[in-house]
Chains A and B, each alone.
Chain A
Amino acid sequence: MVQLLTPEGRRVTNDEFEWRGTDDDLVGRLRDMTLTRRFDNEATALQRKGELGVWPPSLGQEAAQVGSARALAPKDTVFPSYREHGVALCLEVPLKQLIALFRGTDAGDWEMLDRFRNYQIIIGAQTLHATGYAMGLQFDGLVGNPDPADNAAVIAYHGDGASSQGDVNESFIFSASYNAPVVFFCQNNQWAISEPMTLQSRIPLFERARGFGFPGVQVDGNDVLAVQAVTEWALERARNGEGPTFIEAFTYRMGAHTTADDPTKYRRDEETQEWAGRDPIKRLTAYLREQGAIDDAHLARLEEESKDFGSEIRSWVDQLRVRTMDELFDNVYADNTVELEAQRREYAEYNAGFEEAL
């Protein structure tokens, strides 16, 4: 497993991968992860207060998400599942739109779709979309050009549970056969709702990649340095025309699968406590303190910023506009049907009946 920063916050070296950034970059990563955690905690709290229908917490997975997102180049495209809040934050996707999706005011039709595609609820379905999109990048001549700025790649996020899905395995086959520029970024957070990793695979997931004909790398998913280093390498391969890569970011879902889940029913508290000792934010904080890159004053300012961000997030729920039935009638088809227009009138007439009654 590739690791560049131990849980205690000590820098270690790896034969193949090295961190190419500065300590200043890492101060930035600390901010990304801190704000991601704040966003996630606020959203979880909003669900508890009844403001969101459901929320899938990203708690504990901040390094995997932030490290991989910060490896992206401007032309790369993300195909997320439904938990990549930290990736969205790094890409500056308006997070209010994520809140809207889980509040149910719309279906997640956010801006910046070219950078960050819509959340995907069907487990693993997005890996095929990512592969097709990556094939399109090849056809468009955006792979393997001498100037790296002319190249683009795709990153598809999925989880350990998704590794059992046919679509995910088919996407491995298609991307390998066509040498498509796609990075499969698996956040192995050990649990697919209540099902442990051992039910999905009898071998470490990254070893499967070899059977599909491309490299697989296991990285400490709670080590933001290692994650970014490995993802940068994989994306570079993809952009250069060297084909797909599978990254298994070994991490842990510290929270529930979603707010509707109860992990006490199926996993031991000791296990969760053990993983709490590997926390991605704690270890980076320890390292940066040791380096003298941050001090108490810096952390206090970050906490202040995080608090302000929290109140901003809480203010969003009242600002969200519910997408109307009329808009839904508009958007089923690009070219609407006579039948659906008739049903729109039926809906309008039904509602008009209430107005007359008043």
Chain B
Amino acid sequence: MSETLTLAKALNRGLRRSLQADPKVLLAGEDIGKLGGVFRITEGLQAEFGENRVIDSPLAESGIVGTAVGLAMRGYRPVVEIQFDGFVFPAFDQIVTQVSKMHARTAGRVPMPIVIRIPYGGAIGSIEHHGESPESYFVHTPGIKVVACSNPNDAYWMIQQAISSDDPVVFLEPKRRYHAKDQVNFSARPQPMHQADIIRHGTDATLLTYGSMVRTCLDAAALAAEEGTSLEVVDLRTLSPIDWVTITASVRRTRRAVVVHEAQRTLGLGAEIAARLHEDLFYVMESPVKRVTAYDMPYPHSKVEDEFLPSVDRILDAVDASLAY
């Protein structure tokens, strides 16, 4: 059974299913109740499940995550919404010093089955702190897992998998793709959450990307194909842990890799991937790993964000450079 849904609606359906399946699942966040969240991801859920399961929080992100820690200690599975990527930083302390370390600190006695949903990324013409890509901070932090969905089917399944996870999960939602529609298959067995997906097969180079940039990379691959270049596209899906098996298998075949992400370059995912490919495929690669990323500056005002973020043209330019090496 399948249906065409927006990514936003698919998340809503996934959350609904988790709330139905497990009475210990709770949602909390700012404006998620009556309003259904500023992006309407939780629309209708408070009406259906009540104010004790879909909880409007005071405007304090550290409080939202910190109380989620206490709820998790009490046996609940809190799913918290951070309203915008740039607002996660007040909660950074609780995430990094508490959520991520509790399991290790207590020698496994106290798991933290918390999902921290973050609408992330730019290109929506918004104001400062509404277009950030903070994934590296969390990928760098042991004890939490980080995933990014890129399409409605993954959104539907991965949110449920994240909620079922006994480890804390930072769940990145590509906000510029919230309204993109695609098929959601409700009955097929979903792919495991911590697995990358080769979503377009090719032979000349591999584009490695995730979240909002998956669509951009697919567009780039389609254009490249018209010019006779065959690009493989890997949707990483899981950023921590990274699925090295799928990534290295792809690059072993294509021998060239371009990493694409919205986050700034220095110590972004691209750095880790380049280092790893260097370690594992040193004799196989035909050219150095290229990175197409945002520039190392604060996220800019919206009139220039398209130039700040990776685009199809910048990706193709990097592919050309890789092929010409």
Chain B residues with Cβ below 8 Å from A167 are: 62-63, 66, 93-94
Q: Does A136 lie within 8 Å of B241, measured CB to CB?
A: no
Q: List 28 A-B contacts (CB under 8 A).
A: A107-B106, A117-B73, A118-B110, A122-B93, A125-B93, A125-B97, A125-B98, A128-B67, A129-B73, A131-B66, A132-B69, A132-B70, A133-B73, A138-B52, A167-B63, A167-B93, A167-B94, A174-B57, A174-B67, A331-B103, A332-B142, A333-B143, A334-B103, A334-B108, A334-B165, A335-B165, A337-B240, A340-B241
Chain A residues with Cβ below 8 Å from B245 are: 338
Which of B68, B78, B107, B166 touches A331 (beta carbons < 8 Å)?
B107
CB-CB contacts below 8 Å: B44-91 with A: 52, 57-58, 60, 62-63, 65-76, 78, 90
For the complex with contacts A128-B67, A132-B72, A167-B94, 13 further pairs of A-B residues with Cβ separation under 8 Å are: A106-B107, A108-B105, A118-B105, A128-B66, A131-B67, A135-B67, A135-B74, A167-B63, A167-B66, A173-B60, A334-B103, A334-B165, A338-B245
Q: Does B58 lie within 8 Å of A177, measured CB to CB?
A: yes
Expressed in whole angstroms, the Cα–Cα distance for A138 and B74 within the complex equals 11
- A193 CB to nearest chain B CB (Å): 19
B197 contacts chain A at the CB level, 8 A cutoff: no
Chain A residues with Cβ below 8 Å from B73 are: 117, 129, 132-133, 136
Majority secondary structure, A binding face: helix
- B46 CB to nearest chain A CB (Å): 15
Expressed in whole angstroms, the Cα–Cα distance for A334 and B106 within the complex equals 12
A113 contacts chain B at the CB level, 8 A cutoff: yes
Contact with B along A172-198 (1 / 0, CB 8 A): 011001000000000000000000000
A270 contacts chain B at the CB level, 8 A cutoff: no
Chain A residues with Cβ below 8 Å from B74 are: 132-133, 135-137, 140
A339 contacts chain B at the CB level, 8 A cutoff: yes
Contact with A along B96-123 (1 / 0, CB 8 A): 0110000111111111010000000000
B39 contacts chain A at the CB level, 8 A cutoff: no
B242 contacts chain A at the CB level, 8 A cutoff: yes
Chain A residues with Cβ below 8 Å from B26 are: 139
Q: Does A128 lie within 8 Å of B69, measured CB to CB?
A: yes
Q: Evaluate whether A170 and B165 lie within 8 angstroms (CB atoms) in the complex, with A132-B71, A331-B104 already known.
A: no
A109 contacts chain B at the CB level, 8 A cutoff: yes
Chain A residues with Cβ below 8 Å from B242 are: 339
A162 contacts chain B at the CB level, 8 A cutoff: no
A interface, CB within 8 angstroms of B: 106-109, 113, 117-118, 122, 125, 127-140, 166-167, 170-171, 173-174, 177, 323, 327-328, 330-335, 337-340
Expressed in whole angstroms, the Cα–Cα distance for A334 and B145 within the complex equals 11
Q: Does B167 lie within 8 Å of A170, measured CB to CB?
A: no
Expressed in whole angstroms, the Cα–Cα distance for A130 and B69 within the complex equals 9
- A165 CB to nearest chain B CB (Å): 9
Closest to B105 in A: A107
B13 contacts chain A at the CB level, 8 A cutoff: no
Chain B residues with Cβ below 8 Å from A330 are: 108
- A178 CB to nearest chain B CB (Å): 8
Chain A residues with Cβ below 8 Å from B295 are: none
Q: Does B75 lie within 8 Å of A136, measured CB to CB?
A: yes
Q: Does A109 lie within 8 Å of B106, measured CB to CB?
A: yes
Expressed in whole angstroms, the Cα–Cα distance for A13 and B244 within the complex equals 71
Chain A residues with Cβ below 8 Å from B76 are: 136, 139
Expressed in whole angstroms, the Cα–Cα distance for A290 and B56 within the complex equals 56
Which of A117, A128, A335 touches B166 (beta carbons < 8 Å)?
A335
Q: Evaluate whether A134 and B70 lie within 8 angstroms (CB atoms) in the complex, with A109-B107, A128-B94 already known.
A: yes
B194 contacts chain A at the CB level, 8 A cutoff: yes
Chain B residues with Cβ below 8 Å from A177 are: 58
Q: Evaluate whether A174 and B104 lie within 8 angstroms (CB atoms) in the complex, with A125-B98, A129-B98, A131-B70 already known.
A: no
Chain A residues with Cβ below 8 Å from B105 are: 107-109, 118
Q: Does B98 lie within 8 Å of A327, measured CB to CB?
A: no
Chain A residues with Cβ below 8 Å from B70 are: 128-136
CB-CB contacts below 8 Å: B183-240 with A: 194, 240
Chain A residues with Cβ below 8 Å from B94 are: 125, 128, 167
Chain B residues with Cβ below 8 Å from A331 are: 103-104, 107-108
Chain A residues with Cβ below 8 Å from B167 are: 333-335
Which of B71, B103, B104, B241 touches A339 (beta carbons < 8 Å)?
B241
Chain A residues with Cβ below 8 Å from B66 are: 125, 127-129, 131-132, 167, 170-171
- A330 CB to nearest chain B CB (Å): 7
- A354 CB to nearest chain B CB (Å): 24
Chain B residues with Cβ below 8 Å from A106 are: 107
Chain A residues with Cβ below 8 Å from B60 are: 166, 170, 173-174
Chain A residues with Cβ below 8 Å from B244 are: 338-339
Q: Does A173 lie within 8 Å of B71, measured CB to CB?
A: no
Chain B residues with Cβ below 8 Å from A171 are: 63, 66-67
